[in-house]
Structure 1
Amino acid sequence: MEIKTKSDHAAILKALKANGKDRDKIEDLMAEYKDIDRNLRDSQVDRIQKDKIVGDKRKIVRGVRLPIPFQHKIVNTATAFEVGAGSTITPETENALSEFVVPLWKKLRLDDKIQQAVSLRKSELQCALLFCFEAPQKSTLYTKLTGANKGKTPKCRVLENKNGNMYPYYDAFGGMKAFTWEFKEIIDDKERSSTWVYTDTKIHKYQENIYLGSEIHGFSKIPIVYTDQDYVEWHVAKKLIDRIEVSLSKLAASNDYAGHPLLLLYGDVDGAPNKDEDGKAFHIRPTRDEEGKVIWGDVKFLVNEQAPEAARLELDKLEKFIYSLTSTPDISFDNIKGLRASGVAIHLMFLDAMIKARMNEGRNRTMIERSLNILKSGITTTTKTSLKYLEQDTTFDVTFKSIIPQDINNTVQTVATAIESGFASKLTGVKMAGLTKDIKEEIELIKKDQESVNND
Structure 2
Amino acid sequence: MKELYELIGIPEADGLNELINALKQGKDKTKIIAEAKKQLDPNMHDIMIPHLRDKRNKKRGEKAKDKELVSIALALQKWIVKKEKAMIFGNTPLLKANIDQNSKISKDVLKAIERILHDNKESSLNRKIAECVGSYTEGGEIWYLRKREEKHSSYGFDTDIDVKVMQLTPKNGENLYTFTDDFNDLKAFSRNYSKKENGKEVNYFEVYTANKTYKFKQDNSEWTLLENYPQDQILKKIPIAFAEQEHTSWYDVQKLIERYEQLISDHGEVNDRNAYPILLIEGGLVDFLERGPGGGIKLENGSDAKYLSWDNAPESIKLEIENIVKNIQLISQTPNFSFDEVKRMSALSGTALKMLFLDAHLKVMEKREIYDEYLQRRINIIKRILATLNPAWKTEIDNMIIEPEIVPFMVENEKEQVEIALLKNGNKPLESHEKSVKDWQGQDTEDYEQIKKEEKESANVGYFSAEEVE
TM-score by length of 2: 0.78
Distance change in 2, residues 1:411/1:264 (3 Å) = same
Larger CA deviation: 255-264 vs 266-275: 266-275
1:365 is aligned, of 366, 372, 382, to 372
Larger CA deviation: 5-14 vs 88-97: 5-14
Q: Does residue 327 of structure 2 align to residue 321 of structure 1? A: yes
1:210 is aligned, of 218, 224, 230, to 224
Partner of 1:120: 132
User: Per the alignment, in what secondary structure is the counterpart of residue 330 of structure 1?
Assistant: coil
* Counterpart AA for 2:3: E
Question: Aligned ranges for residues 149-164 of structure 1 at < 5 Å?
Answer: 150-163=159-172, 164=174
Residue by residue over 1:90-119, the C-alpha shift from the partner in whole angstroms, topping out at 9 and shown as x without a partner, is: 433133322211111111112211111111
Aligned partners of 2:244 and 2:370 also within 8 Å: no
Partner of 1:440: none
2:109 is aligned, of 90, 97, 109, to 97
Larger CA deviation: 195-204 vs 1-10: 1-10
Question: Aligned ranges for residues 46-195 of structure 1 at < 5 Å?
Answer: 47-50=52-55, 52=57, 60-93=66-99, 94-134=106-146, 136=147, 146=150, 150-163=159-172, 164-195=174-205
Question: Aligned ranges for residues 249-398 of structure 1 at < 5 Å?
Answer: 249-266=265-282, 267-275=284-292, 277=293, 279-286=294-301, 296-337=302-343, 339=345, 340-381=347-388, 383-398=389-404
Paired-residue identity, %: 22
Distance change in 2, residues 1:227/1:203 (3 Å) = same
Larger CA deviation: 1-10 vs 297-306: 1-10
Distance change in 2, residues 1:283/1:224 (3 Å) = same
Q: CA separation in 1, counterparts of 2:52 and 2:206?
A: 40
Q: CA separation in 2, counterparts of 1:365 and 1:358?
A: 10
Q: CA separation in 1, counterparts of 2:167 and 2:349?
A: 40
User: Per the alignment, in what secondary structure is the counterpart of residue 96 of structure 1?
Assistant: helix
Residue by residue over 1:43-68, the C-alpha shift from the partner in whole angstroms, topping out at 9 and shown as x without a partner, is: x9962524847667796123332122
Q: CA separation in 1, counterparts of 2:51 and 2:187?
A: 43
Residue by residue over 1:279-333, the C-alpha shift from the partner in whole angstroms, topping out at 9 and shown as x without a partner, is: 44444341xxxxxxxxx22223343455211111111111111111111112111
* Counterpart AA for 2:279: L
Partner of 2:4: 3
* Counterpart AA for 1:250: D
Distance change in 2, residues 1:251/1:351 (3 Å) = same
Superposed displacement of residue 263, structure 1:
2.8
Distance change in 2, residues 1:220/1:274 (3 Å) = farther
Superposed displacement of residue 11, structure 1:
2.1
Question: Aligned ranges for residues 7-18 of structure 1 at < 5 Å?
Answer: 7=12, 8-18=15-25
Larger CA deviation: 398-407 vs 265-274: 265-274
Q: CA separation in 2, counterparts of 1:104 and 1:236?
A: 38
**Aligned residues: CA RMSD:** 3.5
Distance change in 2, residues 1:112/1:132 (3 Å) = same
* Counterpart AA for 2:262: V
Aligned partners of 1:168 and 1:176 also within 8 Å: yes
User: Per the alignment, in what secondary structure is the counterpart of residue 320 of structure 1?
Assistant: helix
1:225 is aligned, of 226, 241, 266, to 241
Q: CA separation in 2, counterparts of 1:318 and 1:272?
A: 49
Q: CA separation in 2, counterparts of 1:214 and 1:46?
A: 52
Residue by residue over 1:208-245, the C-alpha shift from the partner in whole angstroms, topping out at 9 and shown as x without a partner, is: 02112212343231111110101111122122111111
* Counterpart AA for 1:178: A
Partner of 1:445: none
Superposed displacement of residue 32, structure 1:
1.0
Q: CA separation in 1, counterparts of 2:323 and 2:177?
A: 41
User: Per the alignment, in what secondary structure is the counterpart of residue 406 of structure 1?
Assistant: coil
User: Per the alignment, in what secondary structure is the counterpart of residue 71 of structure 1?
Assistant: helix
Superposed displacement of residue 174, structure 1:
1.3
Partner of 1:412: 418
Residue by residue over 1:97-143, the C-alpha shift from the partner in whole angstroms, topping out at 9 and shown as x without a partner, is: 22211111111112211111111111111111111123x57xxxxx5
Distance change in 2, residues 1:55/1:354 (3 Å) = closer
Partner of 2:262: 246
Partner of 1:442: none
Unaligned runs of 5+ in 2: 100-105, 153-157, 440-470
* Counterpart AA for 1:358: M
Q: CA separation in 2, counterparts of 1:230 and 1:133?
A: 32
Q: CA separation in 2, counterparts of 1:18 and 1:4?
A: 14
Aligned partners of 1:195 and 1:207 also within 8 Å: yes
Larger CA deviation: 11-20 vs 384-393: 384-393
Structure possessing the higher relative contact order (Cα contacts under 8 Å, 6 or more residues apart): 1
Distance change in 2, residues 1:329/1:127 (3 Å) = same
